[in-house]
């Protein structure tokens, strides 16, 4: 129906002309109209891009949350030192984070919070694991390619190893710690570690080779305060 279409277009044109007059723009109408269209298109594009980013972030976060124990699925960074580590974690390369402190002060909470903060912003592929579960997953056994499993952790764009040094250590767990930390260190891959080992005892607990690399590659944040589990 060409009549109705041309009436509609004429109305749009009238509205635009009215807007142009109201604005009192010194630019001729046709030019003003072109600029306005370009601006509208740019706004629309920015809106779509933002939507795509938000969708991607929520998809990545869902994938991360599937790996996170329910208790920590709403974890958020509350410590300002860890928040500022998050802000710079993607700049430069390989700056890792070591959260130390006694039991129950919120190390895991902050660590999971940091992972959740970074995923979808600067990080696509994040892997989280409790050290004891890592050793269990890597125990050589029939029918399992544990080397492939090791690589999944070693190559992750961002990795969280929760509670390193907490499990009873053996030569074999020390070797796993060394291989993993050394790989992350050599490839400058950001890693978040938590441990309730006192800073001075780190070398004794995880071995000197691992402790020395951790100290060099990590921003160390010591949390103190009360055991939140007892307080609750
Ligand atoms: N900042 C926080 N806000 C709310 N709850 C927290 C916070 N930090 C820790 N918690 C809660 O306190 C308990 C102990 O924290 P957790 O991170 O497991 O301690 P840690 O790993 O140091 O032993 C958990 O139930 C955790 O969810
Ligand atoms: Mg913990």
For the segment 200-218, what is each residue's pLDDT rounded down to a tens digit? 999 989 999 999 999 999 9
Pocket of ligand 1 (CB under 6 A): 71, 78, 101, 103-109, 228-229
Where b means 16+ CB within 10 Å and e means fewer, 110-142 reads: bbbbbbbbbbbeebeebbbbbbeebbeebeeee
Looking at residue 140, the DSSP 8-state letter turns out to be: -
List, in sequence order, every beta strand (DSSP E) within the chain.
96-100, 126-130, 158-162, 191-195, 218-222
Closest ligand 1 atom to 99 CA: 22
What is the Å distance from ligand 2's center to 35 Cα?
56
Query: Of ligand 1's atoms, which has the minimum distance to the CA of residue 72?
Result: 27
122, pLDDT greater than 90: no
Expressed in angstroms and rounded, the spacing between residue 102 Cα and the centre of ligand 2 is 9
Residue 121 has pLDDT above 90, yes or no: no
Whether the Cβ atoms of residue 108 and residue 162 lie closer than 8 Å to each other: yes
pLDDT at 93: 64
Residue closest via CA to ligand 1's atom 12 equals: 228
Ligand 1, atom 25, residue with closest C-alpha = 229
Q: What is the mean pLDDT of residues 116-122?
A: 88
Give pLDDT, residue 89.
Answer: 82
H/E stretch holding 108 reads helix 107-118
Atom of ligand 1 nearest to the CA of 163: 21
Say yes or no to pLDDT of 16 above 70: yes
Please indicate whether residue 232 or residue 142 has the higher confidence score (pLDDT).
142
CA 107 – ligand 2 centroid, Å: 5
- pLDDT at position 94: 62
Q: What is the pLDDT of residue 230?
A: 85
CATH class in words for 70-231: alpha beta
Centre of ligand 2 from the C-alpha of residue 108, in Å: 4
Distance of CA 123 from the midpoint of ligand 2 (Å): 23
- In percent, the amount of the chain with pLDDT more than 90 equals 84
Ligand nearest the Cα atom of residue 72: 1
User: Looking at the predicted structure, is the pLDDT value of residue 231 above 80?
Assistant: no
pLDDT score, position 225:
85
Convert the pLDDT of each residue in 72-90 to its tens digit. 999 999 999 999 999 988 7
- Residue 30: beta bridge partners? none
pLDDT digits (tens, 9 = 90+) for 91-117: 656 699 999 999 999 999 999 999 999
- Relative to the alpha carbon of 226, which ligand is closest? 1
Q: Where are the domains of the chain?
A: 2-64, 70-231
Mean pLDDT, residues 163-189 taken together? 92
pLDDT of residue 167: 78
Among residues of the chain, what percentage have pLDDT more than 70? 97
Ligand 1 site-directed mutation target among 72, 100, 109, most atoms within 8 Å of CB = 109
């Amino acid at each position: 129906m060409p009549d109705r279409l041309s009436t509609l277009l004429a109305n749009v044109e009238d509205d635009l002309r009215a807007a142009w007059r109201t604005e009192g723009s010194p630019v001729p109408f046709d030019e003003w109209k072109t600029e306005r269209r370009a601006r509208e298109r740019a706004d629309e594009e920015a809106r779509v891009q933002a939507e795509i980013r938000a969708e991607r972030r929520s998809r990545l976060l869902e994938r991360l949350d599937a790996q996170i124990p329910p208790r920590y699925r709403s974890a958020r960074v509350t410590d300002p030192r860890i928040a500022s580590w998050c802000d710079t974690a993607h700049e430069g390369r390989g700056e890792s984070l070591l959260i130390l402190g006694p039991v129950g002060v919120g190390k895991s909470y902050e660590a999971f919070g940091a992972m959740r903060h970074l995923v979808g912003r600067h990080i696509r592929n994040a892997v989280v694991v409790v050290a004891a579960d890592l050793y269990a997953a890597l125990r050589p056994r029939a029918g399992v390619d544990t080397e492939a499993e090791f690589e999944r952790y070693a190559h992750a764009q961002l990795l969280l190893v929760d509670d390193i040094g907490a499990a009873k250590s053996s030569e074999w767990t020390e070797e796993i710690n060394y291989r993993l930390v050394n790989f992350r260190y050599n490839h400058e891959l950001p890693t978040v570690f938590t441990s309730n080992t006192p800073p001075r005892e780190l070398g004794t607990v995880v071995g000197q080779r691992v402790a020395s690399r951790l100290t060099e590659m990590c921003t160390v944040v010591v949390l103190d305060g009360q055991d939140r589990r007892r307080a609750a």
